[in-house]
Amino acid sequence: MVNQTSIFLPDYLFYGVVIGMVIIFIGFLILFIGMFSSSRKEGNVEAGGVIIIGPVPIVFGSSKNISTLMLILAIILTVIVLITYIIGLKGWS
């Protein structure tokens, strides 16, 4: 007889997958809404981004304000990664 609990993911992994999918969906929704709202406006466009390779965040931006904002985002993302890593080491018990 097959143990039914061994087939499914533990609850904390399942919730992590669901939360990740919701965050991705919200990101696409924000991107979709932004495409239509920005097409009607004229003005200055600024862009920036964060690339995280291992523990090292790489920040870039078209202006000093955007670069500062991306640096704050990189710090927040690095802290979130460290917290999830520490939780993963300790387990959820």
Tens-digit pLDDT profile for residues 3-54? 555 556 677 677 778 888 999 999 899 888 877 776 566 777 788 888 888 7
Q: What is the pLDDT of residue 20?
A: 86
Burial 3-18 (b: 16+ CB within 10 A, else e): eeeeeeeeeeeeeeee
The kind and range of the H/E element at 60 are strand 56-61
Between 68 and 1, whose confidence is greater?
A: 68
Q: Where are the domains of the chain?
A: 1-43, 44-93
Q: Which residue from 78, 28, 81, 74 is spatially nearest to 50, judged by alpha carbons?
A: 74
Model confidence pLDDT, tens digit, residues 77-92: 888 888 888 887 776 5
- pLDDT computed for residue 91 by the predictor: 67
DSSP 63: S
Please report, as a single letter, which amino acid is at residue 88: G
Number of C-alpha atoms within 13 angstroms, CB side, residue 35?
A: 5
